[in-house]
Amino acid sequence: MTTFSDLNLIEPIQTALDAEGYVTPTPIQAQAIPALLQGRDMLGIAQTGTGKTAAFTLPLLQILSTSGRKPMPRSPRALILTPTRELAVQIHESIGNYGKNLKMSRAVVFGGVGQGAQVSSTARGVDFLVATPGRLMDLIEQGHIKLDVLEAFVLDEADRMLDMGFIHAVKRIVAMLPKQRQTLLFSATMPDSVAGLAASLLRDPIRVEVTPAATSAERVQQSVMFVEKEKKRSLLSELLRDQSLVRALVFTRTKHGANRVAEQLAKTGVKADAIHGNKSQGARQKALESFRNGKIRVLVATDIAARGIDIDGISHVINFDLPNEPESYVHRIGRTARAGAEGIAVSFCDAEETGYLRDIEKTIRMPVAVNAAHPFHNEQIATAKHPQKPAARSHNNNGGGNRRPGGRPGQHAAGQGRGPKQGGGQKSFGGNGARRPSGEARA
């Protein structure tokens, strides 16, 4: 098996990885790093949670820090374009962590906040600029940032970028880049629009594809609870009495719903907060930070706001509402089970949501077990709308890199309170081994 020491990374980067507790590269890192160090372009088909941030950050840190060049005024040497502010902040932080023993400068720009600090942080030029497209275009148009001497360009989450309507801004930005550059494009999925963009941007790229949706879903213990819509909130409170839910990310379909759930939890004494698009950037960052450092136990989020949240040790993902796009389900449950850890995902399903559940099961290519550990579960909804299927899921951990124990706290929290991997009737909340309403045992 490859280890980081096989990858020819310079010592300051190795030391930083040791400090992070990383031992084994994830599959995308093992494949991407050698090719990127040689200056190749890359098409990465991978979602968050696969270790893709380090896969591009480590080689770029090495290339930029050893080339001997310095940033020019107002110019970044490497640009990482990403769709959301949260992702931008996280990538910026990761560059700081992995590059902490190197003298590389970095800045992050995104909308929704004043631009003054962003203008001054980029005025003298930076080695790394992480940006969302709208704000970057604004700053370029005002003459605060230039891209004509860029050395490396990373387009992150290209599919989501297009879904969010950034195609125009992305194309305008791309048109300003110098022809001679290293380009990387990452996308969880490859619709034609992304393939077209990749073809126009990349020169003879290496293609690295990791953990397609179905396999990443296999690492998460998933279960569904059939429940009447009105009873979802009390079911959630009930579940949260179980202290093995140390850090739970709860998804709702609407912003309003997220607020309501967070407020209700707070009333019952559970420390919770909500993040969604209507909250100010400051409030979102504050909620994320409280969740990260354990001040709050539950974070309630909408899909967009939670996109790419990178918090270690999320023990449980709870789908308070099922998403109507199966892809969102895969992204949501991927927030637990990061980089090889295992996680637990529980979905509430009311009578109107059973169609969504069927679509999800088709996409992940396996049935979601009914969580029988709880009295709320509603057999009528389950049997009428969710015909039983033989459950033939194997629980294989084919995940990515490994962290040495003690690398970071909370990484193994998801293991608590989990039942045996097979056999029905246990009271574990994990869902594995739960029975279908008839009592049929999972295979």
Interacting span for ligand AMP (CB under 6 A) from 184-192, 212-220, 358-366, 401-409 = 401-409
Residue nearer to ligand AMP on the CB measure, 227 or 248: 248
Q: Select from 25, 61, 77, 36 the least CA-distant residue to 205.
A: 36
- Contact flag: residue 310 with ligand AMP (CB under 6 A): yes
Residue nearer to ligand AMP on the CB measure, 284 or 338: 338
Question: What are the tokens at 120?
Answer: 């001054």
- Contact flag: residue 48 with ligand AMP (CB under 6 A): yes
Query: Out of 22, 226, 320, 348, which residue is the one contacting ligand AMP (CB under 6 A)?
Result: 22
Residue nearer to ligand AMP on the CB measure, 298 or 341: 341
Question: What are the tokens at 170?
Answer: 């992305």
CB of 1 to ligand AMP, least distance (A): 12
Integer Cα distance of 298 and 242 in angstroms: 13
CB of 344 to ligand AMP, least distance (A): 17
Q: Which residues contact 180 (CB under 8 A, 6 or more apart)?
A: none
Integer Cα distance of 163 and 174 in angstroms: 18
Residue nearer to ligand AMP on the CB measure, 27 or 367: 27
- Contact flag: residue 273 with ligand AMP (CB under 6 A): no
Integer Cα distance of 135 and 212 in angstroms: 31
CB of 236 to ligand AMP, least distance (A): 26
Q: Which residues contact 263 (CB under 8 A, 6 or more apart)?
A: none
- Contact flag: residue 26 with ligand AMP (CB under 6 A): yes
User: Amino acid identity, residue 417?
Assistant: G
**Distance of CA 259 to CAs 86, 195, 230, 272, Å?**
19, 38, 16, 10
CB of 201 to ligand AMP, least distance (A): 21
What is the contact mask toward ligand AMP in residues 338 to 377, using x (rule: CB under 6 A)?
xx--------------------------------------
Q: Which residues contact 174 (CB under 8 A, 6 or more apart)?
A: 153, 200, 201
CB of 245 to ligand AMP, least distance (A): 20
Residue nearer to ligand AMP on the CB measure, 72 or 214: 214
Measured N-to-C along each axis, helices 326-333 and 354-364 cross at an angle, to the nearest 10 degrees, of 70
CB of 13 to ligand AMP, least distance (A): 12
Query: Out of 7, 16, 29, 236, which residue is the one contacting ligand AMP (CB under 6 A)?
Result: 29
Query: Out of 27, 44, 49, 59, which residue is the one contacting ligand AMP (CB under 6 A)?
Result: 49
Residue nearer to ligand AMP on the CB measure, 23 or 113: 23
Query: Out of 27, 51, 430, 433, which residue is the one contacting ligand AMP (CB under 6 A)?
Result: 51
Q: Select from 71, 250, 205, 45 the least CA-distant residue to 148.
A: 71
Interacting span for ligand AMP (CB under 6 A) from 6-14, 213-221, 361-369, 400-408 = 400-408
Residue spans of beta strands (DSSP E) within 206-305: 206-209, 220-226, 248-251, 272-275, 298-301
Interacting span for ligand AMP (CB under 6 A) from 44-52, 144-152, 188-196, 287-295 = 44-52
Q: Residue of minimal CB distance from ligand AMP? A: 401
Integer Cα distance of 230 and 404 in angstroms: 44
Q: Which residues contact 207 (CB under 8 A, 6 or more apart)?
A: 42, 43, 45
DSSP 404: -
Residues 216-235 that bind ligand AMP (CB under 6 A): none
Interacting span for ligand AMP (CB under 6 A) from 48-56, 147-155, 240-248, 377-385 = 48-56
Q: Select from 411, 412, 401, 413 the least CA-distant residue to 340.
A: 401
**Distance of CA 111 to CAs 92, 119, 390, Å?**
15, 12, 48
Name the site residues for ligand AMP (rule: CB under 6 A).
22, 24-26, 29, 48-54, 310, 312, 338-339, 401-403
